[in-house]
């Protein structure tokens, strides 16, 4: 069993935005089976008042990790039309999977000459069915390539951090890829109950002209949103003293669960920290293993020091 | 007196987003005069802490109906310029009505060759005056055509459902056509007081290549926002067992009060359910009477079963 | 010492969105040094639970003034690239200032032929450094010209109003130029503690075809957002009876702290009231002194009468 078996399992779960119940069930079962081996056993908070989200509370928390559990995908419209969930970037021929009233589906994506997005399948698929990429998990010495590293890798990293976490909160959130909707009540809960004022966004970012695979986890100084400078400076200072490899990001665009924390009615500081990937939102998202290692390390370090 | 007298009266009320006081007064008076004939007499909640909104509480509520009471229109800018309220789609020659310091106004819309929107009237109109379509209510055996079926029909349907409602909340909200602003405090109130976790959006949708007039009320599986799949599945299951005619919708765009429920800090599930119309946001919005009947029926059924 | 020394000092403070700590410190010190000379000494509310914001509470408040303290600017990306903070409008050659690990910076803005925004400086600047316009404060008999009248003039006006204010709240907010993020918790605090339901947005607007320099402070009837008509009517009525010069604005675009009040879960009415400027978001923002005078006068009047 390789170190990445858990990640591989996570990447294969069908859970596009709005339909996160399957990954919630997987996570609840995983946590139940593993938490007794963790350094501190967390309180597991879930249920109808949290829709398909899960909160893990360890010790006396000061900082919360947010890892979204939904993915991009497609919704079947009428006839053979598809409507995007989030911002998928796939080519004609991509394999899509799902299930409707007639049973399991494995079909093919078709982008027409006039840029319409359709499916090819032997029968009509029920209107409203959601489809996700068929997972083809590939591992080399240096890289992992698969669909849905965004954000199953953020979830994986949080679960690895959980193993040794003493004080903190881990939040598994929904709908991040499609406009959000769960962070507002999650942040309300953790602020009102535990006055947690620091949030780290465990998510995946982009390889760019300034961010390179293998150079370490990315600490994002800003994207479309601008976190508070005092908090970013503190994180960067800690990262520097940790000696863990990391790189800085500055972007004008892109967004995360941090956006909804920023606009929430709670004075919570946030910072996006995550591995960079190539082939964003495609079936071939690729991340360097070194960046995964430094992501887990930096999170573990920051959860102690913040 | 036809069955649609109330609807006709509603469509004639001048109440664009931000200026909902006239329809609030009409509704308060209508509710006062009729509630003693309803199966259950609701608590009527309104006043300065609710701006121009009204909440009706029946029995022990589990589900809330949201019907927005504002409409699209225009604001007079400087000289003869008009600025849209929401997204009106009207042609040159459309009759607009309103009132300013000099008295009542009935003027004509003019769209210039360079797509500027202006009014034609015998005198200058005060800056800031809001104008709405002049109502021309037309009824045939099968159809109703008028301005403002969106959303006076959603209000009408909610008032019809009120007649037999035993447990539930009906919310009359403001500003829906122009970015929202009342749903955040309304959902806060109904969740914090009664723990209501189901919301149905009583509003009007579009006739499209997959949604046809006369085929029944529309249950929307998604628009720009994606409600939680578990809730949609429950609604669709109930609708199927009800034998009431209905049709499914899947869209990439469009939005409603559901958007603000989705992004609120309360774990409330929502689903848009409403009759489809042709000639959206024009003075000639058209709805099939069968779809109005099935809208009222399905709401009555769901408010019992959810 | 001219009347505008305080304004000049405010315009020189480096405090782009996300990095408001320097102006918070300036304001706390100014308030500490001056509040004993004010008609009523306010309660000064600040600290980590308010990030870099400040709330001043005078007497028994009914109305709150919101003045944002952040400014537009640029963030250094990789190499010599700049990313905007908010919506700056500057030309090649504009002087920018800031500081990084190697010391103070005064560099020059460069807009390339393909519209990329860069800096010219003798050395590389640390990634993530934020830069603001170098202040060149110019005063004539009629006009003030400088960067950052938006919104240091709104802050200046609020501080002038503070001198004679008996009952009210003054809020210094952050992030307004870049999507917001502090108004949600500020409005929560002032509504939940003092049930304040009126808000005035002390900010700077645009000279247009309908708004002219020297004609008085602007009462905005709408911008991208539409405040509640009943509140606007009350303000306009009071402004008329005050005999203070003012002008009305109606716009389709533009936004302010009012947007976040509108979408907050509190039933707070708001109205934007501020002096108009030319050369918006440039280093040469220009405001007529008469409009500054009428801004301070109208605010003082409204805070008494509302």
pLDDT digits (tens, 9 = 90+) for C249-285: 999 999 999 999 999 999 999 999 999 999 999 999 9
- Going from the C-alpha of A298 to that of each of A250, B172, C33, the distances in angstroms are 19, 49, 44
Q: Is A291 on the interface with B (CB under 8 A)?
A: no
Mean pLDDT of chain C: 97
Rounded to the nearest angstrom, the minimum Cα separation between A265 and chain C is 4
- Residue C101 DSSP label: T
The answer to whether B220 faces chain A, any CB pair under 8 Å, is no
Contact C48 A197 (CB under 8 A): yes
- State the average pLDDT over residues A152-157: 98
Strands B130-133 and C285-288: unpaired
Per-residue pLDDT tens for B44-66? Answer: 999 999 999 999 999 999 999 99
Q: Comparing C-alpha atoms, which of C84, C81, C85, C134 is closest to residue C110?
A: C81
Q: What's the pLDDT score for residue C1? A: 35
The response to whether C52 counts as a known ligand-binding position is no
Is the CB of A266 inside 8 Å of chain C's CB atoms? yes
**Active-site residue (options: B32, B41, B108, B176):** B176
Structural domain boundaries of chain A? 5-71+138-305, 73-133
Q: Give the length of chain C.
A: 306
Residue C257 assigned to a binding site: no
Neighbours of C163 (CB within 10 A): 14
Q: What would the DSSP string read from start to end of chain B? A: --TTHHHHHHHT---BTT--HHHHHHHHHHHHHHGGGSSSPPEEE-SGGGTT-EEEEESS-SEEEEEE--B-EEEE-STTBEEEES-----TT-EEEEEETTEEEEEEEEE-TT--EEEE-SSPPPTT-EEEEPP--EE-SSEEEETTHHHHHHHHHHHHHHTT--SEEEEEE--GGGT--SHHHHHHHHHHHH---EEEEE--EE--SS--TTS-EEEEEESSS---HHHHHHHHHHHHHHT--EEEEE-SS---HHHHHHTSSS--EEEEEE-EEBSTTSTTEEEEHHHHHHHHHHHHHHHHH-
CA gap C77, C124 in Å, rounded: 11
pLDDT in tens, A92-143: 999 999 999 999 999 999 999 999 999 999 999 999 999 999 999 999 999 9
Q: Is B77 in Cβ contact with C251 (below 8 Å)? A: yes
Please state the three-class secondary structure of B45-73 as a single string: ECCHHHCCCEEEEECCCCEEEEEECCECE
Alpha-carbon gap, residue B55 to B188, rounded angstroms = 12
Residues of chain B with pLDDT under 50: 1
DSSP state of A196: -
Residue C247 and residue C295 in contact, taking contact as beta carbons nearer than 8 Å: no
Question: B140 CA to chain A: closest CA distance, Å?
Answer: 30
Which pLDDT score, from 0 to 100, does residue B15 have? 98
State pLDDT tens for residues A24-59: 999 999 999 999 999 999 999 999 999 999 999 999
ipTM: 0.96
**For residue B248, what are the β-bridge partners?**
B219
> With an 8 Å Cβ cutoff, is B297 touching chain C?
no
Q: How far apart are the first and last CA of chain C?
A: 34
- pLDDT attached to residue C97: 98
C239 SS3 class: helix
Q: Tell me the pLDDT band of C90, cut-offs 50, 70 and 90.
A: confident
Neighboring chain B residues of C226 at a CB cutoff of 8 Å: 17-18, 75, 85, 175, 178-179
Q: How high does pLDDT run on average in chain B?
A: 97
Say what the pLDDT of residue B183 is: 98
pLDDT band at residue C203 using 50, 70 and 90 as cut-offs: very high
Was domain C73-133 assigned CATH 2.40.30.40?
Answer: yes
Q: What's the confidence (pLDDT) of residue A90?
A: 85
pLDDT per residue as tens digits for the range C162-185: 999 999 999 999 999 999 999 999
Quote the pLDDT of residue C170.
98
The 10s digit of each residue's pLDDT in A58-70 is: 999 999 999 999 9
Q: Which residues of B touch A76 (CB under 8 A)?
A: 250
Under a CB-based contact definition with an 8 Å cutoff, are residues C49 and C118 in contact?
Answer: no
Chains that touch C (3 or more CB pairs under 8 A): A, B
* Catalytic residue from among A48, A79, A163, A176: A176
pLDDT tens digit sequence for B214-263: 999 999 999 999 999 999 999 999 999 999 999 999 999 999 999 999 99
Say which of C20, C176, C249, C285 is annotated catalytic: C176
Would the annotation count C106 as a binding residue?
no
pLDDT for B1 equals 36
Mean pLDDT value of segment A239-249: 98
Cα of C15 to nearest chain B Cα, Å: 30
C126 pLDDT higher than 90: yes
CA-CA distance, A22 to B109, in Å (whole number)? 53
pLDDT at B3: 87
Is A188 an interface residue toward C (CB < 8 Å)? no
Name the CATH topology of A5-71+138-305: Aminopeptidase (3.40.630)
Quick check: A2 pLDDT over 80?
no
Point out the residue among B128, B264, B265 whose CB comes nearest to the CB of C250: B128
Q: DSSP state, C177? A: G
CB-based contact (8 Å) between A168 and chain C? no
C177 is in an annotated binding site: yes
User: What's residue A1's pLDDT?
Assistant: 36
Judged by a CB distance cut-off of 8 A, whether residue B246 touches chain C is no
pLDDT in tens, C135-148: 999 999 999 999 99
> Is C14 annotated in some ligand binding site?
no
> Residue C290: which H helix or E strand, with range?
helix C289-305
Any catalytic annotation for residue C176?
yes
């Amino acid at each position: 069993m390789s170190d990445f078996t858990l990640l591989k399992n996570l990447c294969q779960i069908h859970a596009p935005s709005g339909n996160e119940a399957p990954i919630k069930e997987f996570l609840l079962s995983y946590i139940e089976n593993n938490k007794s081996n963790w350094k501190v056993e967390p309180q597991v908070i879930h249920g109808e008042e949290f829709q398909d989200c899960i909160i893990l509370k360890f010790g006396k928390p000061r900082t919360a990790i947010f890892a979204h559990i939904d993915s991009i995908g497609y919704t079947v419209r009428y006839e053979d039309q598809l409507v995007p969930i989030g911002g998928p970037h796939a080519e004609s021929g991509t394999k899509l999977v799902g299930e409707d009233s007639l049973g399991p589906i494995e079909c093919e994506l078709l982008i027409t000459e006039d840029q319409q997005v359709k499916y090819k399948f032997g029968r009509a698929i029920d209107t409203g069915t959601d489809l996700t990429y068929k997972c083809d998990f590939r591992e080399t010495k240096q890289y992992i390539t698969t669909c849905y590293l965004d954000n199953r890798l953020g979830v994986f990293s949080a679960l690895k951090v959980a193993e040794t976490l003493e004080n903190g909160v881990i939040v598994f959130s929904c709908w991040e890829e499609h406009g959000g909707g769960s962070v507002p009540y999650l942040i309300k809960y953790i602020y009102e109950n535990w006055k947690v004022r620091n949030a780290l966004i465990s998510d995946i970012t982009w390889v760019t002209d300034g961010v390179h695979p293998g150079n370490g986890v990315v600490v994002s100084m800003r994207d479309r949103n601008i976190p508070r400078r005092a908090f970013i400076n503190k994180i960067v200072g800690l990262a520097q003293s940790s000696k863990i490899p990391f790189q800085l990001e500055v972007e004008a665009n892109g967004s995360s669960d941090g956006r909804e924390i920023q606009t929430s009615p709670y004075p919570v500081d946030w910072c996006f920290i995550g591995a960079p990937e190539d082939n964003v939102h495609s079936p071939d998202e690729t991340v360097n293993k070194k960046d995964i290692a430094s992501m887990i390390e930096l999170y573990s370090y920051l959860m102690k020091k913040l």
